[in-house]
Every structure is written in C-alpha cells, then in structure tokens.
Amino acid sequence: MADRAAELQLDFCHQGVLDKYVVFKKLAEEYGIQEGEIAYLGDDINDLKVLTSCGLSACPRDAPSYIKERTDLVTEAKGGRGALREVADLILDAKGILCKILK
C-alpha cells in the first residue's frame, strides 16, 4: 500500500488504523473540509463510522451486506478490481469534468 501511495504521489498514507473515524475527522479539520463534503469508499466494520458520517459513502460489490445497507452507492466492481476508479469516474462525470478529460 505504501508503494502504491508513493507511485500515486499521495501526500499521506495511513496504514494499520483501527479507528478510521479519528483519522477522517483529523484530516477534515486539517484541510478545513466539512465531513459532508467528503466521499469515502470502504468495505469493513471499521469503516462504518466514516461511511455514516461522510457526504457520499460507497462500497464495492463484494462488501458485506451490513456495509452495503449503510452506503449511498454499491459499485459494480469488486474491491481491488476498479471500485475506486468507478466512484472517481462517477464524481468526475457528475461535476462535468470527465467529458472534458475524454475529449
């Protein structure tokens, strides 16, 4: 995961976090973003608090039913098989950005 984060030139990568909401809240505060302005993709029990606190919650198709029932969007793709790309494309399309990129 750290290698992939570096490859994508991400500013940070948090691994081994048990309470993801603590990190979610800290990052929102640090960047001056309201929780409702954040999209989050998760598929595990320790994602639930973030999934129910963010503005757009999503999970991959192979997430457990207790996660699917609590998210705004269930992707067609399975986890690790394009779910994040699918959510990113939906956001870019909704903002009218995807069509500009594809031209």
Three-class secondary structure assignment of 5-19: HHHCCCCCCCCCCCC
80: domain CATH number is 3.40.50.1000
Q: How confident is the model at residue 12 (pLDDT cuts 50, 70, 90)?
A: confident
**H-run or E-run covering 56:** strand 56-59
Task: Please report whether residue 58 resides in a domain.
Answer: yes
Enclosing domain of residue 94: 18-102
Tokens 């989050």 map to which residue? 40
Residue 78 lies in a domain: yes
Domain count, the chain: 1
Q: Residue 82's pLDDT band (boundaries 50, 70, 90)?
A: very high
Is 35 inside any structural domain?
yes
Within a domain: residue 81? yes
**pTM summary value:** 0.84
Residue 5 domain flag: no
pLDDT tens-place string over residues 45-58: 999 999 999 999 99
Does 80 map to a domain?
yes
Structural domain includes residue 1:
no
